[in-house]
A and B are shown apart, each in its own frame.
Chain A
């Protein structure tokens, strides 16, 4: 089945380290998103990309950067990790239809802990 995958699934790192989270999809979707989930705060958008040449900031992009290496790959980087970036990170994909919006398909998540 076509899917969205994320690596690593769990990561513990130290303050100041550079971290990359990777997302791959076999759904053939053009649109990809990175969210972080914190208890009581829901899902907040970090960055999104509508195609390989398109990158957009979300509501909480400070401290993060992204790279869209191909239609199927979208990576999130933390250049210098800090403890308040400890969270569950989700990648998602979507493909709009003629009606506009369509379902977002989420990856399994990456649990990141910054000590």
Chain B
């Protein structure tokens, strides 16, 4: 089955700086890569996703890049703000009869004011 590894497990950055979280996956059939944000005591919520026919996707201050050859994808947050403090999860899944997601172990991002 799919195995998703996520690094780092914790990350602290100064407010206004950029944060990068990286994930690798094992199953070459995976073609969908979402990122979820979980604020303290809240439920996970989707913040951005990318499909394998796209190399990069941006939404305001967040972006995701995908390298299918190397089987890795990354989340980039620019101009970080205190409200970006949360746990972030990457995930991988495929649409070909195995339509479930495998999640990474999470990254706790802390923005230092």
Residues of A at the B interface (CB closer than 8 Å) are: 31, 33, 35, 40-45, 48, 50, 56, 58-59, 90, 96, 99-101, 103-104, 106-109
Contacts and interface: CB of A to CB of B under 8 A. Distances in A.
Interface residues of B, number: 24
Interface of B: 1, 6, 9, 31-32, 34, 42-46, 49, 51, 89, 93, 95, 99-106
Given A101-B32, A104-B34, 5 more contacts: A31-B99, A96-B99, A99-B51, A100-B51, A101-B51
Given A40-B105, A42-B104, A43-B89, A104 B43 contact: no
Contacts of B105: 40-42
B46 A42 contact: no
B101 to A, nearest CB: 7
Given A42-B89, A100-B95, A90 B100 contact: no
Contacts of A33: 100
